[in-house]
A = this chain, B = another copy of it.
Amino acid sequence: MPDRPTASPKTGAAGPSHQMWGGRFAAGPAAALDQLNRSLPVDHRLWPQDVSAARAWVGALGLAGVLDAEEVKLLAGGLERATERLAAGAAQDAPDEDVHTLVERLLYEAVGPVAGKLNTGRSRNDQVATDLRLWTRDTLAELDAGIAALGQALCAQAADGVDLLLPGYTHGQRAQPVRWGYVLLAHAWPLTRDRARLAQAADRLSELPLGSGAVAGSGIPVDRERLARELGFARVAPNALDATGDRDFVAECLFGLTLLATHVSRLAGELATYASAEFGFIRLADEFCTGSSLLPQKRNPDVLELARAKAARTLADLVGLLGTLKGLPAGYSKDLQEDKTYLFDAVDTMAVVLPAVRGAVATLRPVPERMRAALDPSLLATDLADGLVLRGVPFREAHGLVGRLVKAAEELGAPVSAVPGVRAAAIHPAIPDLLASLGDWEASVERRATAGGSSREAVGRQLRELQVLFGRPAAPVT
């Protein structure tokens, strides 16, 4: 990435006063280390969470008697002013090592040396774990809305597409006639699983790390239950060594995002196929097509191609995190600093992909005549076989008989329905009658009337259920 966050030419300006440590070092960190080590270009976006946690911690230190009322007030006010400066862009190009140092510096600039009392009994190890859990929790809520919106777009298209028939495909080959709405809903259901999975991840991550100190718990007797309630966590993390080294929640979130991206990739890939001249089942809206720099006639489905590709990017982020965690001991190792790069990248990716694909879905137009034209008579083969079964022919035998009919049709270069009666009857005497009574495509689709099938009624039931699901937040787990 162009303005690679971990490398900042401005770093050189960072004086020792901007670091939380350094008392015992004869020399400042080398520039090369600093380039590698500084995380502010990545973690600065955690400042709202860092300030929230700081505010709660000040309160907890007050209740624990470490700060007096005056100091609590002073520090709370200072955090207020730091927040204003941060909201106005103070994190931009700041020289600090990381977001925690940045907030402490701004506090210092607001209230002077008493700022040095803020981090009593805290470590960056429990701070960053707290900040990132807060950020992830809020992000998952926004993401849930974005997934639901894509689901609603699919439902809206599906509602308009219940009457449109096209081939259903397996192995990329025409298999049986289905409804266009049914195909779209097959891509909507996975989104409901994504939402449930991410909601459970959000529930599981709701554990407060703050008060874990660096490795062994805090030496200050703060009331962690109260802290948890104040910051909106469901529980207190039960082991401080685990709490500071645990990045399961990042992995789980990345996995949820990757599976979501995979679903979107499958949808996008299928739509791209349907948008080709050869299929021609759908037409993307002009505002969701791009053109070619060389070929004036092109209408390229870039949005779908990029959405298809992004599943590899979220997978890459997941691999990066899991590859990092392997073999590390419990507790904090600096390797864990990489977690945010992966998480932010995957979240940002889906924050761009979801609206783009939702827009493409919402604005595409089906082309009913092309769909209908793709329904060739061989798609009735299963109906024929089923007809034979109902007349007592074992299915496996019926399957073979119809296979021979298809072969005969191919040799004639004609649809199965045009195989001469004599020849058809030679394969099985019931076939001519069955061919005559197969009815139209609609009849064929309606024969698949089991729950989950592609009949009008079965599709309608799915649609109503999904509209309800996408109309509300993912169910909380309680």
Contact = CB atoms under 8 A, between A and B. Distances in A.
Given A312-B321, A312-B338, A313-B324, 8 more contacts: A1-B341, A19-B291, A24-B410, A25-B287, A124-B293, A197-B252, A238-B452, A305-B335
Interface in A216-262: 216-222, 224-225, 236-246, 248, 251-252, 255, 258-259, 262
A272 interface: yes
Contacts of A400: 22-23, 296
A170 interface: yes
- Size class of the contact patch on chain A: 35 or more
Nearest to A355: B32
Interface in A179-227: 182-183, 185-187, 189-190, 193, 196-197, 200, 204, 211-222, 224-225
Contact of A36 (B212, B295, B298, B307): B307
Interface string A1-39: 111111100000000000111111111111011011100
Interface string A286-306: 111111111111111111011
Given A219-B386, A305-B335, A334-B300, A396 B317 contact: no
Rank and list the top 9 A-B pairs by shortest CB-CB distance, nearest first: A217-B453, A23-B403, A21-B291, A116-B394, A312-B323, A316-B320, A116-B396, A305-B334, A123-B294
Contacts of A224: 450-452
Interface stretch (A78-86, A275-283, A417-425): A275-283
Contact of A395 (B35, B117, B447): B117
A366 interface: no
B2 A344 contact: yes
A177 interface: yes
A29 B286 CA distance: 7
Task: Specify the main secondary structure of chain A where it touches its partner.
Answer: helix
Nearest to A126: B294
Interface in A366-387: 374, 376, 378-379, 381-386
Nearest to A342: B316
A449 interface: yes
A359 to B, nearest CB: 5
Given A291-B22, A452-B239, A323 B331 contact: no
Interface string A267-278: 111101101111
A382 to B, nearest CB: 5
Interface stretch (A48-56, A136-144, A346-354, A432-440): A346-354
Given A4-B345, A25-B286, A394-B115, A204 B197 contact: yes
Contacts of A120: 386, 389, 394-395
17 contacts: A1-B345, A2-B43, A7-B352, A21-B399, A35-B352, A66-B390, A118-B396, A119-B395, A186-B330, A189-B239, A217-B449, A239-B452, A252-B259, A262-B326, A265-B327, A278-B374, A295-B382
A308 B337 contact: no
Interface string A109-123: 000011111111111
A43 to B, nearest CB: 8
A296 B23 contact: yes
Nearest to A348: B4
A233 to B, nearest CB: 13
A96 interface: no
Contact of A313 (B7, B176, B338): B338
Nearest to A272: B172
Interface centre among A30, A115, A220, A237 (most CB of B within 10 A): A30
Contacts of A200: 197, 200
A29 B287 contact: yes
A130 interface: no
Interface in A140-174: 168-174
Nearest to A30: B287
Contact of A239 (B305, B383, B389, B462): B462
B312 A406 contact: no
A55 to B, nearest CB: 17
